[in-house]
Amino acid sequence: MTSKKPLEIQCPCCRKPIEYSEAYPQRPFCSERCKLIDLGEWAEEKHKIAGSSVYDDLLSGDDPSGNGFHH
Ligand SMILES: [Zn+2]
């Protein structure tokens, strides 16, 4: 046990190898930019999925059987 070797990881955003150490305050991202990009894409994707399928079902309304909606 002589020297602590920092853990090596990859930035989840750009796959750049970084050290899991104080040298990378934004770890596991290589930079704040990658962190924001990744979080932003994740949020956008989640929003898209949550929004689209539900509204597509509600708004399409052309059920070929004609029995789709009961009022
Ligand atoms: Zn990165």
The domain limits of the chain are 9-56
Max Cα distance, the chain (Å): 75
Domain 9-56 falls under CATH 3.40.50.970: no
For ligand 1, the distance from its centroid to the CA atom of residue 46, given in whole angstroms, is 21
For ligand 1, the distance from its centroid to the CA atom of residue 10, given in whole angstroms, is 8
More confidently predicted of 34 and 68? 34
pLDDT at 1 over 90: no
For ligand 1, the distance from its centroid to the CA atom of residue 35, given in whole angstroms, is 7
How confident is the model at residue 33, as a pLDDT?
94
Exposed, middle or buried, 28 (CB in 10 Å: 0-12/13-18/19+)? middle
Residues, beta carbon < 5 Å, ion ligand 1: 11, 13-14, 16, 30, 34
For ligand 1, the distance from its centroid to the CA atom of residue 16, given in whole angstroms, is 6
More confidently predicted of 31 and 3? 31
